[in-house]
Amino acid sequence: MAAVRRDERGAGTVEYVGATIAAAILALGVLATPASGTISNAFAQAVCSVIQRDGCGVTPGSGETPLEQATSGDYVALGDSYSSGEGAWDYEDGTDFDDRDDLWPFNDDEEDHNRCHRSENAYSQVVASSNDFAGDVTFVACSGAVITDLTHSNHGNTGEDPQLDALDEDVSLVTMTMGGNDLGFADVVKDCIINGARGVGFVDSCQEKHDQRIEDLLPELEQRLIDQYRAIKEKAPNARVVIIGYPQLFPEHPGDDYHDLLYKEDQVWMNEKAAELNAMLRDAARQAGVEFVDPTDIFRGHGIGSDDPWINDLDWGGPGLMIVDPSSFHPNAAGHAAIAQLIQQQLEHPVYP
C-alpha cells in the first residue's frame, strides 16, 4: 500500500470533518430551524473533541479567543481541599478556626467552626491574579467537601452555603477538583499507614480492604459527577467549566519511607488508584461536555520523598486537637502554582477530553 504523506493525511482529516459538518447541517436543518444556535454550538463542541484545535470551544461568531471567553465575566472556584489550597497555607480569614477546640466537657458542637482552609496560594487564586477577569472572583472551595456540598449547605463548616449557589449566567469560568473525599481516599492513606502491604498478616491490608471497594464505587461516583457537571453548566450557561484531576502523590519508583510510614508497594498502589480516579474524571468530563486538566505529568519528579516535593509529607500535630495535620498529602504552594500554569495553558489553548 502506498505511503500516505503527512499533508495528505491532514487534508483527509479536514475533508472528513468538513463532510461531517455539511452532512449534519443538511440532516438537522441547522440553517432553517429556530434552534439553529443551540444545535450549531453543540456540534461545534463535538468537532472540537475530534480535532482538538486552538480556538475550539469558543461560541461561534463571538470573535473571542478562548482566554477572552474565560475571562469575560465572573470566575467561580469550586471544590474540595485540593481546590481550596489545604497545605498551601496563608488561609483566608474565617476559614481557619474552630471554637470547639476546648477539651471535653467544655467542647460544644454548636460552636462556630470553619476549616475550609481557603488559601491565597491555591491554584484558583493564582489563576485569578494572572488574568484580568471582567467580573468578580468567588472562592467557595472547602477542605473536606464532598459532592453533596455542591447542592447542600456544608454542615461541617459554619457559614458554608451550597457551592453551586455561587453560579449564575454572569460566570465565564468555573474550576473544580472534587471526588477524592467521596472515594474515601483519606481513609485509604490512614489504613495504609496503620496496616500496609507488609503489615499484620492476619488482618486485611489497606490494599485488600479498599481495592475492590474503589473499583465498585468508581462507576457510581462517575454518574454523580456527570450530573453535577451538567448542573454547573445549567446554572452557569456562559461559562467554560474546567475540571482538575488529582496529582500523583509519590514518585513512580518510591522506596520505603518511614517518615510518611508507607511501604513502597502501598505508594505505588496509591499512585495507581489516583490514575484510575483521574481516568474516571476525564471520562465524566467528556460525557458532560466540560473540560479536563490532568496534573499527573507535571508532578512527575515532585512527589513525596523527591528532591523537590510539591506534595506535603505526613505532618503530626494539626490545629486544635488533631493528631495529624490535614495539610499532609496535599499540594504545597509550589504544587498549586504548577497546577495554575497547567490551567492557564488550557484556558489559552483548550484541549478537550
Q: What is the mean pLDDT of the chain?
A: 85
Model confidence band, residue 228 (pLDDT cutoffs 50, 70, 90): very high
The pLDDT tens digits of the residues spanning 48-105 come to: 544 444 445 555 456 899 999 999 999 999 999 999 999 999 999 999 998 876 665 5
Lowest mean pLDDT among 36-40, 94-98, 243-247, 312-316: 36-40
Of residues 136, 140, 143, the one with CA closest to residue 151: 140
- pLDDT at position 120 is 98
Q: What is the pLDDT of residue 258?
A: 63
pLDDT at 322: 66
Q: How many CB atoms lie within 10 A of CB 168?
A: 14
The H or E element containing residue 244 is strand 240-244
pLDDT at 55: 44
pLDDT above 90 coverage of the chain, percent: 71
Residue tagged 474503589 (cell numbers): 214
**Phi, psi of 248, deg, nearest 5:** -75, 125
CB 145 within 8 A of CB 178: yes
Residue 348 has pLDDT above 90, yes or no: yes
Whole-number Å distance between alpha carbons of 324 and 194: 13
Structural domains of the chain ordered from first start: 1-51 (no CATH), 62-348 (3.40.50.1110)
- Only one residue has cell 513502597, namely 264
pTM: 0.84
pLDDT for residue 269 is more than 90: yes
Q: 98 - beta bridge partners?
A: 113
**d(C-alpha 211, C-alpha 159), whole Å:** 36
Q: Fill in the amino acid letter for 222.
A: E
DSSP 59: P
Q: What's the CA gap between 275 and 339, in Å, rounded?
A: 16
* pLDDT at residue 3 greater than cutoff 50: no
Q: Quote the strand ranges of 73-119, DSSP E.
A: 74-79, 97-98, 113-114
